[in-house]
Structure 1
Amino acid sequence: MPKTIHGLVTDGAGAPLAGVAVTNGCDVITTDGGGSFSLVPAGHFIAITRPTGWTTDRWFVRIDAGATEETAITFVLEREEQSLPYQFMHITDTHIDAKRESEWSFDYGRLTQASQLKEFLADLPQLSPASRSVVITGDLVDHGSPDEFVELMDAVSDAPVSVNLVPGNHDHMHTGLKGLVSRNNYIINDGNPELYEAMVGPRWFSYDVAGLHVVVMDWHTHELGLDHTAQEEWLRNDLAAAGENTPYILCMHDQPGHSIMDWLPRKPLATFSGHWHTSRVVEIDGVLHVNSPTPFFAGLDYSPPMFREVVWDGTEITLNSRTMPARYLHNPEHVFDVDKATIAGYTAKPEQPLVRWRHQLAGAGHRAGVALADGMVLAGSQIEDQPAGSVEALDAGTGHRLWSARTASAVKTRPLKVGVVVVAAEVNGAVAGLDAATGERRWTTPSADPYRRFAWQSPVESEGIVVLGDQSDLRALHAATGEVLWRRTDLSPHHNIVTHSSVLILGRTVVVGFWPTPNAPIAVDLHTGESLWTVPPLKDDPWETARKLRVTGTAVFDGADDSILLPAIAGTVKLDRASGRVLWTADHEGGYSPSTPVVTPDGYVVTVTGRGIRMLNRETGALLWDVAVDGLAPFPMTAYRKKAHPVMAAPLYLESEESLLLPGLDGVIRRYRLDGTPEGEFRIGVPLAAPLVAADGGYLTVGVDGGVLSLDLPSGPTAENGASS
């Protein structure tokens, strides 16, 4: 039988400290009046909960669970000022990569260098002087290898503030990557946590700062069922020791869903997570859920690299979300002030000679464009410092705001006007039906699971039926009432990658593609939701199956030959409309291009994010021409990309002029002929990730700063009034 561990907790002068929580990973006890404790080992560690006002470099001790000799250990705490308000920093998914060039690393090199994290942490006193600690919520390293953990621990070892590490699924991948469907019907990789424990430390623990109890758990092994009962028992004991009136937050790699939230002994104030590589702030049943994107490369939701400053004032949690400065991305400095521009409304100064009018939305813009309907411009916005967004209606001629409607979470997609109703999708999966004349809410179709919905695609309508959703909750709504007409929940075990594919409706055929599952684009009946194409079955490894047709954006129809074009992760796919049969695929360098191909008489123009545009042959997909674009963008927005580049949005095809207008993140709109020849540039001065919409002889768009712009862009091979050729 293992022997008892005896221990002592003291201050730096050797005085005993009573009431300090100590755990063996299951049981939680507190030190007695003499600062002593005794525990029988239950795992590989004995750890303490660092109390409010105290810190230590040694908060856990490794033990041999099979030892037969009694052991004595001592924890020494030092005083630390933790006055209110207390600010800490949340970052996530650092993915330190010590391996070779990776399929996912489209800038050809290591996904994140440990030197980037080390430099960032070292600069915190200047970059974020009020932040007194950091929590990194998982996927600390990319492959879970020993070399990566060595680099990680070196990067955090000299940080000027305490850095608390949370394990993620990539941190348990040292035995390889194999996809599976978990006990909660979740697509994930398998894993082994032994190397993490050997090189980092405990995978679940707690600490206190300024009266706030911080709980860390290992979501990945909990989801796999390797230790969920042990973690749950520890948490019950930990919260009991903390006291029922002590507020707490929960930090884990993934946004906790029902499998976590439903069994918690009591609700946390907030949860902090990553995993999805997204920026998403929602409130569910009074709990704030903060899901943050990657700090050193762009997110899967096309968020720029970001970090969050979190402030605890003794009562509530508030956020200050910031775009990562270019120097920590190893990019050149830029001319835009973007610290908050992609997070909340920010009054930029566009080039006035080209601007008819500008309207500042309540929040920031994203990559979805505006909608133009019946003389009204509709736009959604994101407010990433709180669970909020907006939908606004503007007069197309003047930019005067007709109405504004706040939403419970960000609107990163294009609203849709259907008769007298404006339909908007929120990131929590809820859908709002707003009165087109006043903005008053007519109906709300609630999210099927706000923990697990990340609604990034725009609604599409036909015959008064609105279709939207993701691969595990594709649904059709009655536009006038919000009534659910049909819902498909069987297309994928789970939606675990944010989807950017809006549906394409052709008569009664609804076409859409996703990744990683289903493993091919699908077609369903508009009225019934029944499948029209045959979808290949999933193989044992859903990740391998998904590599065939990884659709990342919305399809377009080519009526000339009854075909469908879809953007894929690193290419373009052409399908036969009637059967869904693949006609051809064209590969592109780079990846994760979400922009819909453009059908022209000369061929298909596709956006190659991080490079430029190119035209493909209609019959074969062969390359007809390729135009690379250079420009100084303020940040990367293409998923997994580290290097900032201006090209992200699709160009607008001007049939009457036989030309293309390509907006850029460098604040420049470029004009090209249909043969790829440049015709001029318009310097707007605002980063543009959204496409252009032709309107009344001009053009509409929204910048990442949340400014809706009506532009006057002169035609012709040379540009005047603020443009350069």
Structure 2
Amino acid sequence: MSLTDTDYLINGSSSDLWERHVGPRWYSHDIAGLHIVAIDWNTWERGIDRVRQDRWIRNDIDAIGDRPWILLAHDNPHASFFRNLPTKPLAVLTGHWHTDRVTTHQGIRFINTPSALFAGLDHSAPSSRIITWDGIEVKPSAPIGVPRTPVSGGALWSRSLQASGRTAGGPVLCGDAVIVAGTGDEPESGRVTVLGLTDGEQRWSTAFDHPIAARPAVVGNMIIVHDIAGNAAGFDVTDGTRVWTDFSADPLRDWCLTVPAVSSDDVVVVGYPGTLRALDPVTGERRWTFPRPWPHFNNVPHTGVMLAGDELLLGAAPLRPALVAIEPQTGEPMWQLDSPSAEGTDRSAAVAATPLSVAVRDDAMSHLDWFGWSPVGPGNRHRSGVTVFPASGHLWAIDDGKILWDRETSTVYAPGQPAFHGDLVIAVTSDRRMSAYHVRTGSAAWSLELEGDALLPHIPFRRTAHGPLMGSPTVEKNTVYAPGMDGRIHAVNAATGRYERSYEIGQSLLAPPLATDDRLIVVTTDGTVVAVGRD
């Protein structure tokens, strides 16, 4: 479509009705000594009237002198937006992403709040936030309106830490310790904590600059974390000393919810979905960088970067290319799958453009594929070399760049990572169903439907109760342990699909459980770490 001053909205409608019945598309006014400025981010981002809006806001801010002000925008403007302004805003309040994300950059608070009436793209429950102006600061509250329930009795131990219970969150085992990461004392801060496996007692806890949505990676004596703005850091596992920090090049546009990837030679890859960086886990030294493969788009990606043999694989539903492979030692592009439409698609037919050429494309809308092949969650690699990805309404498997099989599912927004048991791949295939397929052929082995409802809506755009399944299952020996949004861990026989039992936790579960010889450890969506006995 052609973009003009009066025809720029996605549905082709004009802004005339808004301006006629509501008011101007950019404006400012004062409330209680605070100057409030609003812009039309949509037309600014698309370059339709960027010069006009830039001129207007410079004049507006210049006229108020040193008075404090905040910016209202649909999405975070690019960093260049702030460079030529007479003064910086105290805060930027945005929507668009439907997430719980608060960060601070160069003294500005950037506040994105979950949707009030439906679940967010980061699987946050419907909620709102109070923004307080005390004459000096603009302070965001934690999300409100989400009922908090106590942990059920019978736990071996529990600790309320605001740890990340998102789909990529959860605990990590390191010897006789459990490592968790999440939000710190303030909504824009993070924290890494180490607990004793046996008793849950805190051994150390270290603050970080921004909230952490994903579980850490452990490489030798280092804990590697990746915050929601794309920054990474390495901590000494013994005492929590921060050894190094690697900063994102675009923290306003990087919305990172994924786990750091560790390649075969212990290089840690961080930064997805922005600029990828390969780092030495001990020193933080950069080995290589890889530019953002996709345009800036508001579908929060959960796929992450995964090592598949001698390839690093990444993808971002609903954008094209569906899948990109890069060389883990050098960061060089290897191949990509753009629009595979049939089983057996060979990668050689899909390398018309390298991932590097995709990085310079500006029109995200031309690369959309809402219900197709782009992964919505992280893949997992079987010992045979087959990698299985959850996609929008699909579960598909690749081997050496070829599509082996594709099975339709009912999961449009289910980023759970598949798990393996022998030659079976086990995945969440709807909000109530878990299924197993033979890895090489994709033929069905078993399927199980679970009863019960989620305690709160967590599937994006859902506002009413839905089924309990979405997060990644964990396989330990012969049992699948699935986190349930109904507040239970569901145990299923991995070979037959027979339901064995449930473990009552009492709070919603999205993150995969950690299974040890005698216990299960989970992080709830409330941020509570809970250990229960397996027997």
1:699 alignment partner, one of 498, 517, 520: 520
1:599 is displaced (CA, Å) by 1.8
Match of 2:305 in 1: 503
For residues 520 and 528 of structure 1, the distance between their equivalents in structure 2, rounded to whole angstroms, comes to 22
Match of 2:489 in 1: 669
For residues 382 and 220 of structure 1, the distance between their equivalents in structure 2, rounded to whole angstroms, comes to 30
1:224 maps onto 2:61 in alignment: no
1:203 alignment partner, one of 7, 21, 25: 25
Offset from partner CA, 1:445-474 (integer Å, 9 cap, x none): 011111111111111223221012224412
1:356 alignment partner, one of 156, 168, 188: 156
1:270 is displaced (CA, Å) by 0.5
Give the TM-score, by structure 2 length: 0.88
Match of 1:567 in 2: 390
Letter in 2 for 1:503: V
2:501 alignment partner, one of 650, 665, 680: 680
For residues 534 and 690 of structure 1, the distance between their equivalents in structure 2, rounded to whole angstroms, comes to 29
1:648 maps onto 2:448 in alignment: no
1:310 is displaced (CA, Å) by 0.8
Match of 1:415 in 2: 216
1:629 maps onto 2:475 in alignment: no
CA 1:682/1:548 → structure 2, altered by over 3 Å: closer, same or farther? closer
1:437 maps onto 2:245 in alignment: no
CA contact (8 A) 1:296 1:324 kept: no
List alignment gaps of at least 5 residues for structure 1: 1-168, 176-190, 326-336, 339-347, 715-725
Match of 1:182 in 2: none
Match of 2:3 in 1: none
For residues 249 and 311 of structure 1, the distance between their equivalents in structure 2, rounded to whole angstroms, comes to 12
Letter in 1 for 2:255: F
CA 1:387/1:490 → structure 2, altered by over 3 Å: closer, same or farther? closer
Offset from partner CA, 1:526-559 (integer Å, 9 cap, x none): 1101123244446985334575422111111122
1:420 is displaced (CA, Å) by 1.8
Alignment of 1:43-82 (within 5 A): none
SS at match of 1:470: coil
Match of 1:274 in 2: 95
Match of 2:228 in 1: 427
For residues 418 and 543 of structure 1, the distance between their equivalents in structure 2, rounded to whole angstroms, comes to 36
CA contact (8 A) 2:164 2:213 kept: no
1:385 is displaced (CA, Å) by 5.3
CA 1:384/1:197 → structure 2, altered by over 3 Å: closer, same or farther? farther
CA contact (8 A) 1:666 1:687 kept: yes
- Number of matched residues? 504
CA contact (8 A) 1:281 1:288 kept: yes
Letter in 2 for 1:660: V
1:694 is displaced (CA, Å) by 1.3
For residues 491 and 697 of structure 1, the distance between their equivalents in structure 2, rounded to whole angstroms, comes to 43
Q: Structure 1 vs Structure 2: percent identity of aligned residues?
A: 32
SS at match of 2:279: strand
Alignment of 1:168-247 (within 5 A): 172-175=9-12, 192-241=14-63, 243-247=64-68
CA contact (8 A) 2:271 2:277 kept: yes
1:531 alignment partner, one of 326, 330, 333: 333
1:288 is displaced (CA, Å) by 0.7
Match of 1:59 in 2: none
1:647 is displaced (CA, Å) by 1.4
1:631 is displaced (CA, Å) by 2.2
Stretch of structure 1 that moved more, 483-492 or 407-416 = 483-492
For residues 374 and 144 of structure 2, the distance between their equivalents in structure 1, rounded to whole angstroms, comes to 28
List alignment gaps of at least 5 residues for structure 2: 1-5, 339-352
SS at match of 1:479: coil
CA 1:365/1:564 → structure 2, altered by over 3 Å: closer, same or farther? closer
CA contact (8 A) 2:124 2:458 kept: yes
Offset from partner CA, 1:60-80 (integer Å, 9 cap, x none): xxxxxxxxxxxxxxxxxxxxx
Offset from partner CA, 1:588-635 (integer Å, 9 cap, x none): 124111111122236322113522312234344344443232324231
Give the TM-score, by structure 1 length: 0.66
For residues 309 and 476 of structure 2, the distance between their equivalents in structure 1, rounded to whole angstroms, comes to 26
Match of 1:512 in 2: 314
CA contact (8 A) 1:518 1:546 kept: no
Offset from partner CA, 1:401-453 (integer Å, 9 cap, x none): 11111111101111122122111011111101111111111100011111111
Offset from partner CA, 1:350-387 (integer Å, 9 cap, x none): 2332x222222255633311110122211011259531
2:534 alignment partner, one of 701, 705, 713: 713
For residues 122 and 151 of structure 2, the distance between their equivalents in structure 1, rounded to whole angstroms, comes to 26
For residues 432 and 206 of structure 1, the distance between their equivalents in structure 2, rounded to whole angstroms, comes to 39
CA 1:546/1:533 → structure 2, altered by over 3 Å: closer, same or farther? farther
Match of 1:375 in 2: 176
1:263 is displaced (CA, Å) by 2.7
CA 1:252/1:398 → structure 2, altered by over 3 Å: closer, same or farther? same
1:648 is displaced (CA, Å) by 1.8
Letter in 2 for 1:568: A
Letter in 2 for 1:665: M
SS at match of 1:225: coil
Letter in 2 for 1:452: R
Taking only aligned residues, the RMSD between alpha carbons, in angstroms, comes to 2.4
For residues 546 and 474 of structure 1, the distance between their equivalents in structure 2, rounded to whole angstroms, comes to 24
CA contact (8 A) 1:692 1:699 kept: yes
Match of 1:543 in 2: 367
1:403 maps onto 2:224 in alignment: no
1:391 maps onto 2:213 in alignment: no
CA 1:170/1:558 → structure 2, altered by over 3 Å: closer, same or farther? farther
